[in-house]
Structure 1
Amino acid sequence: MARPRLIVFDLDYTLWPFWVDSHHDPPFVKRCDGRVYDRQGQVVSFYPDVPRVLQRLHSEGYMLAVASRSRTPPEAHELCHLFDWDRYFTYKEIYPGSKVKHFGRFTMASGIPYEDMLFFDDEQRNIIELRSIGVTSILVSDGVTESLIKEGLETFQFNRQQHG
């Protein structure tokens, strides 16, 4: 069975249900209840399946990464850290601009070709752009879920069988 050598996730509306650069007011803090809060005392949360998905993929030996076009990279990095997700991500490319640049950096750092990557994002323009360079890309409509990961892995396997 063909397996992706790198699985990449967008952040906003993919791993968490907001735009980090406009929906919450930093700084963020993790309180003793284990939850993350913004300056206004609002809970900053993620989609329910995400911690389980990241843990499972990591434990199954998949290499994971983040590619985000965020205009506020420090806040996005901070949330990944506060959610305790840094342990799962080998690579993080978080800055404005084309995701083709993000993926180019993944390839340079890892030596992994585009066709060995699987990508999840909520924006159709990013899906189209990355499919055009050979990345198996899955559109996320309501956050990453266990079933969407299964669909992505099956799509990746199908694509590899079709293209050798």
Structure 2
Amino acid sequence: MARRTYRGTDIEVTFDDDLCIHATECVRGLSEVFDRDHRPWIRPDDAPAEQVSMVVERCPTGALTYRRLDGQVDERTRPVTVVTTVENGPLVLRGDLVVRRTDGQLERLPRAALCRCGRSGNKPFCDGSHLAAGFEAAGAMQAPAPQLSPRGAIAVDPTVPGAP
């Protein structure tokens, strides 16, 4: 796992390279903090902690997370897990997720992009392999989502194709 933490005065941002599929929500959302051409590429003190936290929460994969150092509340998981299909791409989940990596390690995440094409080398996570594979599948439906009651964490456990 390639995880690195960038500490600022009021907020600490952690980046997990293994989860990133370059959706660019961070770069487009706050380019003065997230700049791939600068080292370090994440500079948490270059914008107010509130703005940094809002942009980090837009990261669909959970590659970016944060911890507030200024006494403010850290990211809260959604009380109901929401699953969205991305057209020709992954399943994006937001909620209280417990994901088992292929090495058996369990990890609790607020957001994740899960492989839907079957080609990821980082299952159950998406690694962008769907692009080279030419994967095609419908995206999110336009119908309104039903109102659901909170049920607790969702567990994601990868299985080997063809296994029971």
Q: Do both share a fold (TM > 0.5)? A: no
Higher helix share: 1
Q: TM-score range by the shorter chain?
A: under 0.3
TM-score w.r.t. structure 1 length?
Answer: 0.26
Higher strand share: 2
Which has more radius of gyration?
2
